Structure formats: structure tokens, C-alpha cells
Homo-oligomer: A and B are copies of this chain.
Amino acid sequence: MSATAPGGAYAPTPRTVPARGRKRASYDREVVHAILDDGFLCHLGFVRDGAPVVLPTLYARVGERLYVHGSTGSRPLRSAGGDGGLPVCLTVTHLDGLVLARSAFHHSVNYRSVVVHGTARQVTDPAERAVALDAIVDQAVPGRSADSRPADAKELAATAVIALDLAEVSAKVRTGGPVDDPGDLELPHWSGVVPVRRAYGAPVPADDLAPGVPVPGYLAAL
């Protein structure tokens, strides 16, 4: 499958064209990358014994590839080590606002999401695995991997990483205010949007942190 169509877009496939809300769908590579780059927590779905499983996990984007972190003991990662890899669906969602309409029916949320379908494979190359692990740390805290002790051989061996190429990908975005029926506009209910965002609190030093170790500047950038 071709990862990208001309014009910097992912080629739609039957399972990346939504049954509903097609107007909100996007296959634009920059849109997809921006949504992925604004997060670090995904929900990874796979099939086990015929039933769906959805687990939260950390990820990083490196070019047209996602890396997902895990222990070598975890079930999906073991499965991804098989010959065929593991069919997965990886979803990243950012909630941007609560949309309050006059009618209960038109209530909604503003959001940005990306859904990636594909086959995840274990990363066995040690060099690629080291890059992936750094990327996963830096996806959550840009600049942090260079300011920590790198994994040693034993730690690298105890960590599994799976890779998922960005090929069958779609984004979905809702923005803007409520859309009420014309007949509801005179109702007395407040309507509008309550913005929602991810917020960071002041860093809390570890109990065993030596006095005088300053809070690194890259944390202020969060």
C-alpha cells in the first residue's frame, strides 16, 4: 500500500472513510501529523481470542512511523513478534471543547482525532529500538531524552517496541460553536463552547531529589 497519495494526503480506504461525519474527515498529512504530535497517549486496539481489547499506551511519531512502548511481557507486544505481526487500530484523541446547544440533541464536543489502521511489528533492530525509546520519552517531554541516563543493554532487552507505519490513516476534526435549529434560537438556554485543554501543573520534585537540582527549562515549555 502506498503511504501517501499525491498532494501530501493519505489515500482513503473503505475503513478510513467514516460512515458518519464525512465532512469532518481529513486525510491531509500535515493535519494528521499535527494531531499526532500534539499528544503522547494513544488507545491501541487489537483482537484477542476474537474479542476486541483497547489499552492506553504511550507512542511517538518518527516520520511516517509510530512507535508504541511496552514491556516484552505484555500480550499485544508478544503477538506483534509473530511472523504476521499484529493487526491494530491506534487512535489518538484530543478533546478541545464542550459544545452546548439549546437543544439536548445538538450537544457535541470539539475534538481532533486520528485513527491508524495497520499491522504492528516488533522492532528488533537495536539501533531503531533505541531511537524509538528516545522518541517516546521526547514525545511527552521534548528534550528529556538527552537529559536522562540512556537505557543500558539489559534495559533495552527488557523493553519491547512495536512499530506501525502511517499508511491507512484518517483524521477527524470538529471545531466551532453549536449549530441549533432555527426554531430553537429564542429559547432561554445559554449556548456556546466551554474550551477544554490539557494543563500542566508545577513540577513536583521526587522525594529523593538532591537539593539544588534546578527544574529544567524544557519543562517550562510544556
Binding site for B on A (CB under 8 A): 15, 19-20, 41, 43-56, 58, 71, 73-75, 87-91, 93, 95, 98, 100-105, 107, 109, 111, 113, 115, 117, 133-134, 137, 140-141, 144-145, 147-152, 155, 159, 177-178, 180, 184-210, 213-216, 219, 222
Number of identical monomers bound together in the oligomeric complex: 2
Q: How far is the CB of A183 from chain B (nearest CB, A)?
A: 9
Given contacts A41-B109, A188-B213, contact A50 B53 (CB under 8 A): no
B103 near A148: Cβ-Cβ < 8 Å: yes
Q: Are A19 and B74 in contact (CB under 8 A)?
A: yes
Which A-B residue pairs are the 8 nearest by beta carbons? A195-B201, A199-B199, A45-B54, A45-B52, A43-B43, A56-B93, A45-B45, A105-B155
In the complex, chain B residues whose CB is within 8 Å of the CB of A41: 93, 95, 109, 111
B-chain residues with CB within 8 Å of residue A198 when the two chains form the complex: 95, 196-199
Majority DSSP secondary structure for residues of A touching B: mixed
CB pair B206 A194 closer than 8 Å: no
CB neighbours (8 Å) of A52 from chain B are 45-47, 52-53, 87-89
Q: Are A103 and B53 in contact (CB under 8 A)?
A: no
Q: A209 near B192 (CB under 8 angstroms)? A: yes
